[in-house]
Amino acid sequence: MLFSYSISKQTNSLQVPKMKDLTIDNITENVHFINGQCSDRRLKFIVERLVSHAHDLVRETRLSTEEWMAAIQFLTEVGQTCTETRQVIPPTPWQMHSSHLHCVNTDWHVPNESKEFILLSDILGISLLVDAIDHPKPPGASEGTVLGPFHTHEAQNIEHGGGIASDPEGEPLLVLCTVRDSEGKALEDVKIDVWETDSKGFYDVQYANHDGPDGRAILTSDKDGIFWFKAIVPVPYPIPSDGPVGKLLAKLGRHCYRPSHMHFMFSHPIYDPLITALYLKNDPYETSDAVFGVKNTLVVELGRVEDEAIASKYGVKVGSALMKYDFVLVTKEEALNLRYQNAAAAMKAQGKKMEYLNGLPVPEVD
Amino acid sequence: MLFSYSISKQTNSLQVPKMKDLTIDNITENVHFINGQCSDRRLKFIVERLVSHAHDLVRETRLSTEEWMAAIQFLTEVGQTCTETRQVIPPTPWQMHSSHLHCVNTDWHVPNESKEFILLSDILGISLLVDAIDHPKPPGASEGTVLGPFHTHEAQNIEHGGGIASDPEGEPLLVLCTVRDSEGKALEDVKIDVWETDSKGFYDVQYANHDGPDGRAILTSDKDGIFWFKAIVPVPYPIPSDGPVGKLLAKLGRHCYRPSHMHFMFSHPIYDPLITALYLKNDPYETSDAVFGVKNTLVVELGRVEDEAIASKYGVKVGSALMKYDFVLVTKEEALNLRYQNAAAAMKAQGKKMEYLNGLPVPEVD
């Protein structure tokens, strides 16, 4: 494996017993823990307080994914509005007159040009925390994890058994999955977005000569809740480290690697969206993911296709790597109820009297 | 005056008794107060918690101006690194290998392309708070206020009596000032940067056809601590409202105006830098400045040049508007000591045991 020296040096120098299964309650201390490697004591102190306040802000407001995406979009626009001179064509008096009397009803929408801010949110543990609050899972349901900055809307629909990756240097992987509800009933017509890097650890869109989707596809579950496809064995990879977020990680003394994983996103009119990923067991970065995404229930051990009949049925060679997983979705109604119950319990624990607007807390009017 | 209807409507609808003389301790409640006009209860709640946490972060860490500028520069870079695809030329394995083992020693430096983030910091009261902490003033010393996003490095040196503004529509203003130390001694050779808008409320750099400095200049105090120049009477103006920060103000139900003022920045090898401004008494926005800059000691009442001999001496017409002010600087040593004393008192009040590195607190090593 490439980078074996740096990997072993990294994992040996870190004591990271709690870096998996991060929850709303334990994520903050874990982010502090990994940032504790920073040799700049002042920077370490400031980032420790920043992370505490940012996480508390999310917990206190039960910030939703939609709201956080709107905030990221806002910050991106602020950054992109910055220029040397901040030139402005003078508005007319009437524009000035009216602009401060009326709230602009700008639609909240998901940003599509905010990758570096999403990355910043990811490495500070905010993304995972927001997802955990917004998409709570009852016991038995598949857990969610960070979306990451590399989901695109370019992926094409493929049939079961189709291949998502063209990289000839990748190790072939057969992926066999099912999707069910919390009572075990097979779910048909669930749309599943899957994406992964190539064998060098890069997503298609990271290449300057990128010319169409690769390493990604959209499938639809059949009447037995089954979906299956051919891919390549995921590899660990560094998140983009050439930008300001990569420089911050370096200043914090942190590595920028994610453990090997494959992304899955499930959509269905009745079921709560599930954004998740499967992680390979024994990956060197399993307990020090740069973006805090790993959960025990999402770690899988790869198998092998050993039976000739199975190999023939799925059109792969005997000995091929095999990833199997059974996903469990909760309904939007279940998720909404659980989100409300969790929020009410959290607000009560904080001693706050709140009302709920669209399911989100606001202080009661005096 | 333009906009009289909106101004009176604005000031009538607001009860803002404490919006002047903002301090490290009272600024947060004042920012909450002005944001309390927001009709979107969820946004109001989120921003209330955001402002509280951001201000607490600054107070807890005694964040310095240099550090805040570095943070703003960082956020700007993050925003400007955001692209649809976040394309990356794949690094070589060795680049990847080494990048996460060594901290990048990026120099902190003051951003010069971060105007919109500075504006965001300003309208959340963070800029004033950081300045108050970083440049504490003992009784009798001239107070500081927000730098704002329109200081440039284009200004030319002028002689005493020179004019800084070319706008023929501005009302001529004679500015007569002195600069002294805290014991009343005149200070020679202090460099004073002054800048203001034109009569329409726009700084030179806001015009698309901007072609060199206007409304700004650099003077040097003489042996009696005197500096004087000709300018125009400042007018209230909106901060740039076409960008995301302007949209946020609108969502918050806030106007985007600053009261009439003239900026001053003092530099001298021995004296603590003073970034300040003088505000015109009875300006309609005196108690609701969009960026929280007004302090009682910085509010001046314009006079008139009534004496023919004085008018002749300064080369202005009888009846010209006159602004007079005596500035008092503290030494860098005084400021450093006061900063340290204030930080130590704040840390003690927070029950924290801290050490000081370069005058800034960090937790004691266990």
- The per-residue pLDDT for range B264-319, each reduced to its tens digit, is 999 999 999 999 999 999 999 988 899 989 999 999 999 999 999 999 999 999 99
Shortest CB distance from A113 goes to which of B3, B50, B84?
B84
For residues B117 and B69, give the distance between their C-alpha atoms in angstroms, rounded to a whole number.
Answer: 10
Percent of chain B with pLDDT over 90: 49
- What is A14-339's CATH superfamily? Aromatic compound dioxygenase (2.60.130.10)
Q: Do B75 and A79 touch (CB under 8 A)?
A: yes
Chain A CB contacts of B113 under 8 Å are 82-84
Average pLDDT over residues B3-7: 32
Residue range B189-241, pLDDT digits in tens: 999 999 999 999 999 988 888 888 999 999 999 999 999 999 999 999 988 88
Copy the structure tokens of residue B329: 């600087």
Tell me, what's the pLDDT at B90?
A: 34
Token pair for A287: 């307990």
Residue range A258-278: mean pLDDT, rounded: 96
CA distance B248 to chain A (A): 8
C-alpha dist (Å) from residue A351 to A27, A40, B32: 22, 37, 20
- Asked whether A169 and A205 are in contact (CB, 8 A), the reply is no
Question: Across the A/B interface, how many CB contacts are shorter than 8 Å?
Answer: 247
Tell me if A289 sits within 8 A of A261, measured CB to CB.
no
pLDDT surpassing 60 at residue A73:
yes
Q: Is the pLDDT of residue B69 over 60?
A: yes
From the CA atom positions of chain B, what is the Rg in Å?
22
Burial string for B331-349 (b: 16+ CB within 10 Å, else e) reads eeebbeebbbeebeebbee
Q: Does domain B13-82+106-339 have CATH number 3.40.50.150?
A: no
Check A116 against B86: CB less than 8 A apart.
yes
Q: Positive or negative CA dihedral for B268, B271, B273, B279?
A: negative
B100 contacts on A by Cβ (under 8 Å): 6, 10, 238, 241, 249-250, 254-257
**Which pLDDT band, with edges at 50, 70 and 90, does A366 fall under?**
low
Task: Check CB contact under 8 Å for B116 and A82.
Answer: yes
Q: Do B46 and A56 touch (CB under 8 A)?
A: no
Question: A70 and A109 in contact (C-beta within 8 Å)?
Answer: yes
B276, β-bridge pairs: B264
- pLDDT category at A287 given cuts 50, 70, 90 is confident
